[in-house]
């Protein structure tokens, strides 16, 4: 059964601890690079040698990392605490083996495409307001900004996530209700922030039932609740229970993204992810980018005691990737118990932080260069761009590569370890591949740590306490 071997009880644990003690961390250490689904992974600048790589490969076998990954792709129960599969890869696989899942995915995608076509033809609709939070917000908001060059309509998009009323108020100032389509995204259709914003939006509509029926679309796994809130059945897009919010951009949660970039580009986005799914399915350790990156995450976290990972994006449209990865990685792997409910005696998820590359060279990269902390880094670089002014994109690439070279000489010339993930340019395909790579890296890291990346009881605990807190606040006189 998955998750029975605690990392600290594996035969590789003491051997890797010993390697960490005798390692002389001076970069570069080991030439290692590969390319999968158009993502070039330069991994040579790490505190890694042949002995460590061999032990990490053996550790992946001991922890059955690839077995867990393949079980996930085959639709087996991998979310043990909720007794569910994790079917996000099925959302981008038109040949998925299970008929019922494949047909449901195809039907929902077809409905998304029909709704998209109708909305694009409706000249009254000029604004799209997407209401959701967490996994129902980060994915479409980030990818829509990243793929702004691929927008096929003149619709204006607005996102409301925060329960802070100023976010709703500021959005309402920018739109006319009669010219706006509202998308309400909530898997349970009970998320307090989302339903509060939707309720107050209904007030702004004057409680007009016809407006709610004709200009509101629900995305949820709880169809009945959406119906009770006044949504018409034909305006409800279904989200499977087995899709976690942070893995849901490929589902109906991506509907606003499809409205922006069109069905053709959305299909290319799915295809990029599917290509990475296939590339990360190889059992060969040195050919599998997600497996290598997950093993290195474990190495730095558990053996070299690095507590965080910085993400440097050398493209302004990719700034939203950091928020996206904070949720994907820390909500998935911020766990202190194994899949089998055992307390862990080792660290799990690193803290994820970062910023836009050239901007951060003049702010926090001082800490990376000369600070005392070991801090592995992911550098994300589109090598080319559809937007260029007098060779400025070339200068951006030069800045990135110069800073990467400087990292090798950082920290008293020991160097700061980094991964350079580059691709031809920002496109639907490259974005799909990049996000899928991070998904698989996160899941494989979880398997190494023997934890379940698909539940989030900490988030649920906060929701349970919220009801009591609201009752108490109602009794308080301000």
Domain limits, the chain: 7-84+269-460, 88-264
| pLDDT beyond 50 at 442 | yes
Q: Give 132's contacts (C-beta < 8 A, 6+ positions apart).
A: 159, 161, 183, 184, 185, 186, 191, 194, 219, 253
**pLDDT score recorded for residue 456:** 83
**pLDDT score recorded for residue 466:** 67
**pLDDT score recorded for residue 242:** 92
pLDDT in tens, 242-268: 999 999 999 999 999 999 999 999 999
| pLDDT beyond 60 at 41 | yes
Task: Tell me the pLDDT of the chain averaged across its residues.
Answer: 91
Which of the pair, 287 or 98, is modelled with greater confidence?
287
Helix spans in 35-137 (H)? 50-62, 65-73, 99-121
**pLDDT score recorded for residue 468:** 64
**Residue 329 to residue 435: CA distance in whole angstroms:** 12
Please state whether beta strands 39-42 and 418-423 pair in parallel, antiparallel, or not at all (unpaired): antiparallel
Rg (CA), the chain: 23
Which of the pair, 380 or 153, is modelled with greater confidence?
380
Average pLDDT over residues 216-227: 93
Answer yes or no: are the C-beta atoms of 270 and 262 closer than 8 Å.
no
Helix spans in 122-178 (H)? 138-146, 165-174
Percent of the chain with pLDDT over 90: 72
Sheet with strand 39-42: strands edge to edge: 33-36, 39-42, 418-423, 377-382, 308-313, 351-356
Nearest partner of 173 among 242, 120, 127, judged by Cα: 127
If residue 127 lies in a helix (H) or strand (E), which one and from where to where? strand 127-131
Catalytic residue among 21, 24, 123, 362: 362
Known active-site residue 233: no
Known active-site residue 209: no
Which of the pair, 7 or 97, is modelled with greater confidence?
7
| pLDDT beyond 80 at 36 | yes
| pLDDT beyond 70 at 459 | no
Model confidence at 474, in pLDDT bands (50, 70, 90)?
Answer: low
| pLDDT beyond 80 at 465 | no
| pLDDT beyond 70 at 475 | no
| pLDDT beyond 50 at 5 | yes
If residue 259 lies in a helix (H) or strand (E), which one and from where to where? helix 255-279
Nearest partner of 433 among 446, 418, 422, judged by Cα: 422
Average pLDDT over residues 366-384: 93
**Residue 59 to residue 448: CA distance in whole angstroms:** 8
Q: Which CATH superfamily is domain 7-84+269-460 in?
A: Glucose-6-phosphate isomerase like protein; domain 1 (3.40.50.10490)
pLDDT in tens, 106-156: 999 999 999 999 999 998 999 999 999 999 999 999 999 999 999 998 999
Catalytic residue among 9, 17, 209, 463: 463
**pLDDT score recorded for residue 387:** 80
Which of the pair, 45 or 1, is modelled with greater confidence?
45
Catalytic residue among 158, 331, 429, 440: 331
Known active-site residue 463: yes
Q: Do domains 7-84+269-460 and 88-264 have the same CATH topology?
A: yes
User: Residue 364 has which token pair?
Assistant: 């926090």
| pLDDT beyond 70 at 336 | yes
Class for domain 88-264, per CATH?
A: alpha beta
20-29, 167-176, 314-323, 415-424: segment of lowest average pLDDT: 20-29
CA dihedral sign of residues 184, 186, 187, 190: negative
φ, ψ (nearest 5 deg) of residue 460: -65, -35
Average pLDDT over residues 436-455: 97
| pLDDT beyond 60 at 478 | no
């Amino acid at each position: 059964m998955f998750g029975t071997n605690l990392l600290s009880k594996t035969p590789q644990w003491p051997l890797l601890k010993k390697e960490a003690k005798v390692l002389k961390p001076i970069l570069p250490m080991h030439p290692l690079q590969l390319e999968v689904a158009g993502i070039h992974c330069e991994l040579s600048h790490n505190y890694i040698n042949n002995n460590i790589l061999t032990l990490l490969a053996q550790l992946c076998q001991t922890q059955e990392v690839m077995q867990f990954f393949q079980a996930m792709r085959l639709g087996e129960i991998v979310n043990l605490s909720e007794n569910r599969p994790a079917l996000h890869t099925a959302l981008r696989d038109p040949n998925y083996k299970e008929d019922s899942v494949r047909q449901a995915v195809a039907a929902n995608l077809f409905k998304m495409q029909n709704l998209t076509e109708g909305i694009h033809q409706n000249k009254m609709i000029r604004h799209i307001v997407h209401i959701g939070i967490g996994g129902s917000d980060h994915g479409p908001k980030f990818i829509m900004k990243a793929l702004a060059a691929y927008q096929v309509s003149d619709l204006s998009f607005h996102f409301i996530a925060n329960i802070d009323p100023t976010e709703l108020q500021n959005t309402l100032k920018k739109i006319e209700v009669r010219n706006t389509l509202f998308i309400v995204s909530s898997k349970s259709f009970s998320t307090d922030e989302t339903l509060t914003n939707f309720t107050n939006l209904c007030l702004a509509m004057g409680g007009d039932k016809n407006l709610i029926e004709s200009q509101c679309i629900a995305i949820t796994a709880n169809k009945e609740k959406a119906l009770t809130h006044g949504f018409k059945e034909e305006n409800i897009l279904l989200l499977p229970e087995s899709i976690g919010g942070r893995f849901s951009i490929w589902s109906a949660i991506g509907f606003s993204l499809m409205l922006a970039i069109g069905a053709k580009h959305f299909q290319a986005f799915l295809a990029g992810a599917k290509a990475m799914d296939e590339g990360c399915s190889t059992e060969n350790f040195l050919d599998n980018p997600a497996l290598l990156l997950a093993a290195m995450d474990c190495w730095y976290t558990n053996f070299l005691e690095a507590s965080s990972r910085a993400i440097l994006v050398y493209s302004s449209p990719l700034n939203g990737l950091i928020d996206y990865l904070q949720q994907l990685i820390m909500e998935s792997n911020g766990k202190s118990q194994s899949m089998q409910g055992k307390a862990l005696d080792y660290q799990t998820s690193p803290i994820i932080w970062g910023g836009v590359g050239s901007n951060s060279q003049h702010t926090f990269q001082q800490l990376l260069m000369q600070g005392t902390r070991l801090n592995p880094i992911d550098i994300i670089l589109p090598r080319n761009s559809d937007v260029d002014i007098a060779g400025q994109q070339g200068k951006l690439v030069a800045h990135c590569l110069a800073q990467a070279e400087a990292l090798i000489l950082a920290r008293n010339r020991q160097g700061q370890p980094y991964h350079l993930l580059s691709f031809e340019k920002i496109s639907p395909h490259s974005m799909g591949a990049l996000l899928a790579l991070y998904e698989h890296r996160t899941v494989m890291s979880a398997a190494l740590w023997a934890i379940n990346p698909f539940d989030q009881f900490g988030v649920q605990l906060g929701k349970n306490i919220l009801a009591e807190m609201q009752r108490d606040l109602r009794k308080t006189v301000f």
